[in-house]
Amino acid sequence: MTDVRHDGPAGPADRVLAYHRRTKHRLDRYAAGPDHLDWDAQPAPFRAWRGTRRYDLPRTAAGITVPWSGLGAPRAPAPVDLEHLGRLLQLTSAITAWKQYGDSRWALRAHPSSGNLHPTETWVIAYWVDGLPDGLYHYQAQDHGVEWRASRLAAADTLGLWLGFSSIHWREAWKYGERALRYCQLDMGHVLAALAYAAALLGWRPRLVGMEHVAMAHCLGLDRAEDFAGVEPEEAEVIVALHGDGTPPPDWDEWSGLPARLDPRPLYDWPVIAEAAAATRGPLPAAGQWGGEGAPRTAGPDIAAAEVILRRRSAQAFDGVAMMPAPLFRRLLASLLPGGAPVWAMWESAPRVHPVLFVHRVEGIAPGLYVLPRSEAGLTGLAAAMRRQFEWTPADPRLPLYRLLAARAERSARTVSCHQDIAADGAFTVMFVAEFAAPVAANPATWRHLHWEAGMLGHCLGLEAEAAGWRGTGIGCFFDDADHELLGITDERYQVVYHYAIGKVVDDPRLSTLPPYD
């Protein structure tokens, strides 16, 4: 183990590193979770707020004609009104379809979520937004509306629009036990990426707001103990500015609404989640120099980008035969590099998460293990941390892609991905390897951000694949140290934080698809 010097034996860095270790899935033992699940007692997927005024949002995102190929082109900002707020939320957090199998019916949203449990709640702070009184609102995905929470203490004098995000840990912990906090953070990354794509379509420039955790929770009304008495708490994650001077209002007036309990009879308690959450409250990463190679510009298909986002799904099975064309493979990888996707204009910090790929079926690329270091530091660091025998053969004239090993690796990919076939049957499966112990020790909040970054990377791959008629699936279930053994990683300088698979989908004919809203 790396000798990390930081804030003493019981400090936040120790606590989160200990949390990470104890929530590893191992080949012989999964992380602690419930012994059995009562599916009928699943926490409510939507948080109801009683006693608030609701404003319906228009659902006109399908009318956005920007083609996927033109996603990166500059465009005039759309007006800041109810219609465009509705579009933004439709492409970020809304329901995009219902699925039905027998008597069961469940909603899918614009972003994926581990176990489809959707721990992320979305908040809107608006002033001078045409059609909406100034205030703080909870976004209600169930019917695509916003619910009034508070009005502004002082009258606003300029336009301002922010989205805030919080996690309800219990939604994930109910099913996944102690590992759930990781999934909440990966989901958060997917949501942020979804927001970046949505904002790009409107010509808006999202910026993460650096705020103290206490101030952020206060701003979103999540510290109002009297309102949350007896219901599951919400953990503030991040506020993103879309318009305005960057800082949301510090104080509110005239609160309204009370949240409903999601799970009246919780069967378990996983206190380590709240401990690790508290240990990882801290500043956002500083904007940094990327320092790596930029993405080679490739256009992508001409299909409407909004259509791609609205029809995005995760694959549950891949066909095990389709060969991915090499240009598409390159386009997917380029989306992970600077300039390759809208999210990297919002997430300006130096990259700390690097894809290592099991390539199974890509035309012109020998099956094997590949790495795409996203920075110079990643290149040198990974070369030093991974197996000495890796060959590091340059594998592409334009991308920083290196072959580590030529071998068919479907079985290994399946095994390390909790024996899931999707990891073996696609074109490729990625392990996201994060620079870990040192940055987490320096700022324990980095632990969250590494998971966000991995979620964002997965989201870019998923949408880019979707646009081309392929599909992705996040894989939160993987055997951590089996990955590390395979890569020759023997300490905590680097840790794998997420897997993601891409392939040609095999649809389940038993499922029917219904429209998102009546």
Ligand X SMILES: Cc1cc2nc3c(=O)[nH]c(=O)nc-3n(C[C@H](O)[C@H](O)[C@H](O)COP(=O)(O)O)c2cc1C
Residue 516 Cβ vs ligand X, minimum distance, rounded to whole Å: 11
Residue written as token pair 């594998």: 395
Residue 190 in the binding site for ligand X (CB under 6 A): yes
- Name, in order, each residue with C-beta under 8 angstroms of 249's C-beta and a sequence gap of 6 or more: 125, 127, 152, 153, 154, 156, 160, 219
Per CB under 6 A, which region of 113-121, 128-136, 375-383, 405-413 contacts ligand X? 113-121
- Name, in order, each residue with C-beta under 8 angstroms of 49's C-beta and a sequence gap of 6 or more: 138, 140, 147, 149, 257, 258, 259, 260
Binding to ligand X by CB under 6 A, coded x per residue (else -) over 364-383, reads --------------------
The answer to whether 501 and 472 are in contact (CB under 8 A) is: yes
The partner residues of 403 in beta bridges, in order of sequence, read 370, 393
Tell which one of 61, 186, 200, 457 touches ligand X (CB under 6 A). Answer: 186
Which among 20, 114, 1 has a CA at the least distance from the CA of 444? Answer: 20
Residue 474 Cβ vs ligand X, minimum distance, rounded to whole Å: 3
Terminal CA-CA length for the chain? 55
The partner residues of 139 in beta bridges, in order of sequence, read 146
Q: Which residues of 306-321 are buried (b: 16+ CB within 10 A; e: fewer)?
A: bbbbbebbbbebbeee
Find how far residue 118's CA is from the centre of its chain: 11
Phi-psi region of 244 (alpha: psi -120 to 50; beta: other; left: phi over 0): left
Residue written as token pair 């920075």: 375
CB nearer to ligand X: pick between 249 and 476: 476
Tell which one of 19, 162, 165, 183 touches ligand X (CB under 6 A). Answer: 183
The three-state secondary structure class of 152 is strand
Residue 72 Cβ vs ligand X, minimum distance, rounded to whole Å: 24
Burial of 178 (0-12, 13-18, 19+ CB in 10 A): buried
Residue 357 Cβ vs ligand X, minimum distance, rounded to whole Å: 17
Residue 114 in the binding site for ligand X (CB under 6 A): yes
Per CB under 6 A, which region of 6-14, 31-39, 182-190, 352-360 contacts ligand X? 182-190
Residue 107 Cβ vs ligand X, minimum distance, rounded to whole Å: 9
CB nearer to ligand X: pick between 180 and 365: 180
Strand 207-208 relative to strand 135-140, pairing: unpaired
Tell which one of 12, 43, 86, 112 touches ligand X (CB under 6 A). Answer: 112
Per CB under 6 A, which region of 14-22, 133-141, 233-241, 467-475 contacts ligand X? 467-475
Binding to ligand X by CB under 6 A, coded x per residue (else -) over 40-79, reads ----------------------------------------
The answer to whether 210 and 359 are in contact (CB under 8 A) is: no
Residue 247 Cβ vs ligand X, minimum distance, rounded to whole Å: 30
CB nearer to ligand X: pick between 181 and 487: 181
Strand 258-259 relative to strand 120-127, pairing: unpaired
The answer to whether 474 and 314 are in contact (CB under 8 A) is: yes
Residue 313 in the binding site for ligand X (CB under 6 A): yes
The three-state secondary structure class of 280 is coil
Residue 116 in the binding site for ligand X (CB under 6 A): yes
Tell which one of 160, 257, 476, 503 touches ligand X (CB under 6 A). Answer: 476
Residue 419 Cβ vs ligand X, minimum distance, rounded to whole Å: 11
The partner residues of 147 in beta bridges, in order of sequence, read 54, 138
Which among 471, 516, 514 has a CA at the least distance from the CA of 94? Answer: 516
Residue written as token pair 């909004």: 306
Tell which one of 420, 429, 446, 495 touches ligand X (CB under 6 A). Answer: 420
CB nearer to ligand X: pick between 312 and 403: 312
Residue 158 Cβ vs ligand X, minimum distance, rounded to whole Å: 36
Per CB under 6 A, which region of 12-20, 53-61, 181-189, 363-371 contacts ligand X? 181-189
Tell which one of 422, 437, 445, 463 touches ligand X (CB under 6 A). Answer: 422
Residue 394 Cβ vs ligand X, minimum distance, rounded to whole Å: 31
CB nearer to ligand X: pick between 115 and 296: 115
Tell which one of 86, 164, 400, 474 touches ligand X (CB under 6 A). Answer: 474
How many residues line the site for ligand X (CB under 6 A)? 19
Residue 151 in the binding site for ligand X (CB under 6 A): no
Supply the DSSP symbol for 295.
P
The answer to whether 252 and 217 are in contact (CB under 8 A) is: no
Binding site for ligand X (CB under 6 A): 108, 112-116, 183, 186-187, 190, 313-314, 420, 422, 473-477
